[in-house]
Structure 1
Amino acid sequence: MNIGEISKLTSASPRSIRYYEEMELISPDRSQNGYRIYNKAHVKIIREILWLLEAGLSIKNIKYIVPCTLQKTEILMCSDLQSLFISEIENINNKIKALKKSQSILKKTLKNSVLVEN
């Protein structure tokens, strides 16, 4: 399949797909005229990349994760992968705490403020 077809199947833009290739996350074959040729394995990898990006992981970390997950159906098989996920969860929890603090400050400010007409 070509880049347009895989883009439709995965909802990843052609630009993103080319970026994943540049980052060596995928490596499509090339036709005689130089066009990229993708297969079902590429669809699986791109969907996994999108899922991991949505979970908040960086491309740097995804580049480490993808080779681990291609070999088996279980996601935690590389030795350091579990600690990476635990670290990411801690980062997310810290961001949640910071957002809750910001939310609390804004609510208090609203509660204690007086509306002034401009």
Structure 2
Amino acid sequence: MLIGELAQLAGTSTRTLRYYEAHGLVRPQRSANGYRVYDEAELRVVREIRSLIAVGFSLDDIRPFVACLRAGHTSGAVCPDAVAVLRHKIAEVNGCIEQLDAVRRRLHAQLDEAVTSRGCAAARSDGGLSHH
């Protein structure tokens, strides 16, 4: 299939496919006239790339998943290098969740302090939206 067909089937643009190619993730064949020609395996690769990008992986993070697919596996996540990237990403996400939870606790503490110690009408739990 040509680049436009792959882009349509994968739900992306030809520009994005060329970007993935420039980063070594997508590998087209070249026809006699120089057109990029893709086989069905590249569609699986592009879908995997898009799926991983959608949940926050970088192109470098994605490389082991693509290599796993290219090795003939039905999933890009079953190879040891991909599993390591998944574990790292989970740890990263857990760290972000912990940070956000700490921020939420601090904000609740500030709100509680504002409501109880200052008695400020604007600090009520309704966000001060009612006007008395």
Corresponding residue for 1:76? Answer: 78
- The answer to whether structure 1 residue 17 and structure 2 residue 8 are counterparts is no
> Structure 1: how far apart are the matches of 2:14 and 2:110?
45
The number of equivalent residue pairs is: 116
8 Å contact from structure 2 (residues 3, 38) kept in 1 = yes
TM-score normalised by structure 1 residue count: 0.79
Corresponding residue for 2:101? Answer: 100
Corresponding residue for 1:4? Answer: 4
> Structure 1: how far apart are the matches of 2:69 and 2:91?
22
Corresponding residue for 1:65? Answer: 65
Structure 1 residue 100: Cα displacement: 3.1
> Structure 2: how far apart are the matches of 1:30 and 1:107?
59
CA RMSD of aligned residues (A): 2.5
Q: Pick the structure with greater CA Rg.
A: 2
Corresponding residue for 1:28? Answer: 28
User: Sequence identity of aligned pairs in percent?
Assistant: 33
8 Å contact from structure 1 (residues 69, 77) kept in 2 = no
| Secondary structure of the structure 2 residue equivalent to 1:33 | coil
Q: Which has the higher contact order (CA 8 A, sep 6+)?
A: 1
Deviates more, 1:43-52 or 1:62-71: 62-71
Unaligned runs of 5+ in 2: 115-119, 123-127
